[in-house]
Structure 1
Amino acid sequence: MLTDERYSLILTILKEKGIAKTQDLMNALNCSESTIRRDLEYLDKIGKLKRIHGGAKRMYHLHEELSNQEKSLKNIQEKTLIGKYAASLIEKNDCIFLDAGTTTLAMIDFIDNGDITIVTNGILHASLLADRNIQSVLIGGKIKASTKAIVGATSLSQLKDYRFSKAFIGINGIDVEFGCTTPDPEEAAIKSLILKQSALTFALADETKWNKVNFVKVCNIEDVTIISNEIKDSNHLFREKTTILEAKE
């Protein structure tokens, strides 16, 4: 096996498992301990992994949050596909929480059931819902300028009084080891509370969110039903830990 092939396989194993023992890598790559040690030493030196006693662990980088305007220009087709699928899950008499975010925003054009109530912390969401004459509530609180989300103590206090049949939240990163994460602690607090207040919670995430880690953990991946446009074969561990609804045309 070529050196570059070994490097690729080692990093793939760490991507899936988070941590790997030297012996397990030897078995997987069918090579000697000295070869694995040299490979780990090199990959550690260039910042691809972290060597630990008896093996290695995956390195990850925290991802910065884009503004709402920047997000709206990315993966438009995928978000539309996910939004359409998610909207089809809404039923008559549902009480819905619709999280701020561009993927949840894509749901609104496809909501065709008028006998529902939607609570949202998204300013843009509330405006579009009002345009479509959908009964909705915009919670109060502090406005986060970059994402047009309402957050803070006031919004948390108000949401504690509500119960939802379904909730649709946005997630910035999904990772087997670190779960569902988002960059902002105040937005994470909203999402975490919603998990407790809703009978069913769906996390909307296009394929670019997989194997990414952000600053604040919202929940474990088994705590939500993930709606995604694509799951790569290398991410089979996600399938074992949660229910994946692959949105299709």
Structure 2
Amino acid sequence: MLTEERQQYILNTIRFKGIIKIKDICSETRCSESTARRDLQQLEEQGELLRVHGGAKYMNSLQEEPAMNDKVSRNVNAKDHIAQQAVANIQVDDVIYLDAGTSTLAMIHHLNPSYNLRVVTNGVVHASALADMGIQTYLLGGNLKGTTKAVIGPEAVKSLEEYRFNKVFLGINGVHPKFGLTTPDPDEAVVKKTAILQSEESFILADNTKFDHVSFARVGDLSSATIITDQLTPSVAEQYQPLTTIQEVQS
């Protein structure tokens, strides 16, 4: 395989999955490990990706925010495992908040309708799915964001301030040891931040590709919520575990 073809394979894979491993590059393109590392170095120098231990991950911009339809197809298995772990934290008669992320959307079909839950959400897709399951659902009012189908803005924040929750579950775009929890849209960041303030317990659902990423708008410190994620590399786990509570799903 030519260098251009091999590097295009790397970029296509990393844009779809968010991460790629050196061993997978070698097996799929039949190249040596040194060649794979050289490709990753060149692509990092071009600003296409960020090298990590054993591979590389997608280099996102501070303002990048994929549409809902694009996010649904990314890291499907990891999101489902994380969603199952998140649901395991829910108890009978809980009042919970689900924000409009695809990770929280994956939680819904794992919910038990017999738990007598009351769920508030700013996700239009989420509200529809919850109603279909016969779960008591409240949809926040406000401005509807076309790309993520999230309800945001001052009205949504004002509505949230009238509620109290046992638990909130939020998606996030960036998890970083210095900059904390971040997301591209300042309006969505305010909604997430308000939800955390209104809850007894807060949970962030973030697959391992979100770690070491930074987006434009800050939501809060790492310590403001428990982070539920899939399997982290030992070096990443060692870096983040002193900073927050992590529930790591073994896949």
What TM-score do you get using the length of structure 2 for normalisation? 0.74
Report the CA distance shift for 1:210/1:155 in structure 2 as closer, same or farther (over 3 A). Answer: same
1:135, 1:195 → 2: CA distance?
Answer: 21
Corresponding residue for residue 219 of structure 1: 220
Corresponding residue for residue 241 of structure 1: 243
Q: Is residue 63–residue 212 contact of structure 1 (8 Å, CA) maintained in 2?
A: no
Corresponding residue for residue 207 of structure 2: 206
Corresponding residue for residue 87 of structure 1: 87
2:141, 2:220 → 1: CA distance?
Answer: 24
- For 1:228, the aligned partner's letter is T
1:78, 1:89 → 2: CA distance?
Answer: 17
1:205, 1:150 → 2: CA distance?
Answer: 21
Q: Is residue 171–residue 204 contact of structure 1 (8 Å, CA) maintained in 2?
A: yes
- For 1:238, the aligned partner's letter is Y
Q: Aligned to 2:241, what secondary structure does the other structure show?
A: helix
User: How do 1:51-130 and structure 2 match up within 5 A?
Assistant: 62=62, 64-112=64-112, 113-130=114-131
User: How do 1:176-191 and structure 2 match up within 5 A?
Assistant: 176-191=177-192
Q: Aligned to 1:174, what secondary structure does the other structure show?
A: strand
Percent identity, aligned pairs only? 41
Cα distance per residue 1:53-88 (max 9 Å; x no partner) = xxxxxxx95251111010001000000111111112
Corresponding residue for residue 167 of structure 1: 168
Give the superposition deviation at 1:232. Answer: 1.6
Give the superposition deviation at 1:191. Answer: 0.5
* Structure 2 residue ranges without an equivalent (≥5): 1-44, 48-59
Corresponding residue for residue 153 of structure 1: 154
2:171, 2:184 → 1: CA distance?
Answer: 12
Q: Is residue 168–residue 199 contact of structure 2 (8 Å, CA) maintained in 1?
A: yes
1:248, 1:184 → 2: CA distance?
Answer: 31
Report the CA distance shift for 1:211/1:221 in structure 2 as closer, same or farther (over 3 A). Answer: same
Give the superposition deviation at 1:248. Answer: 3.6
Deviates more, 1:111-120 or 1:128-137: 111-120
- For 2:132, the aligned partner's letter is D
Give the superposition deviation at 1:241. Answer: 0.5
Q: Aligned to 2:62, what secondary structure does the other structure show?
A: coil
1:141, 1:61 → 2: CA distance?
Answer: 27
1:223, 1:188 → 2: CA distance?
Answer: 14
Report the CA distance shift for 1:83/1:195 in structure 2 as closer, same or farther (over 3 A). Answer: same
- For 1:98, the aligned partner's letter is L
Q: Aligned to 1:186, what secondary structure does the other structure show?
A: helix
Give the superposition deviation at 1:99. Answer: 0.7
1:195, 1:87 → 2: CA distance?
Answer: 17
Q: Which runs of 4+ in 1 moved over 3 A?
A: none
* Structure 1 residue ranges without an equivalent (≥5): 1-45, 49-59
1:195, 1:205 → 2: CA distance?
Answer: 16
Deviates more, 1:233-242 or 1:220-229: 233-242
Q: Aligned to 1:241, what secondary structure does the other structure show?
A: coil
1:62, 1:143 → 2: CA distance?
Answer: 22
Cα distance per residue 1:181-212 (max 9 Å; x no partner) = 00000100000111110000000000110000
User: How do 1:39-50 and structure 2 match up within 5 A?
Assistant: none
Q: Is residue 114–residue 134 contact of structure 1 (8 Å, CA) maintained in 2?
A: no
What TM-score do you get using the length of structure 1 for normalisation? 0.75
Q: CA RMSD in A?
A: 1.8
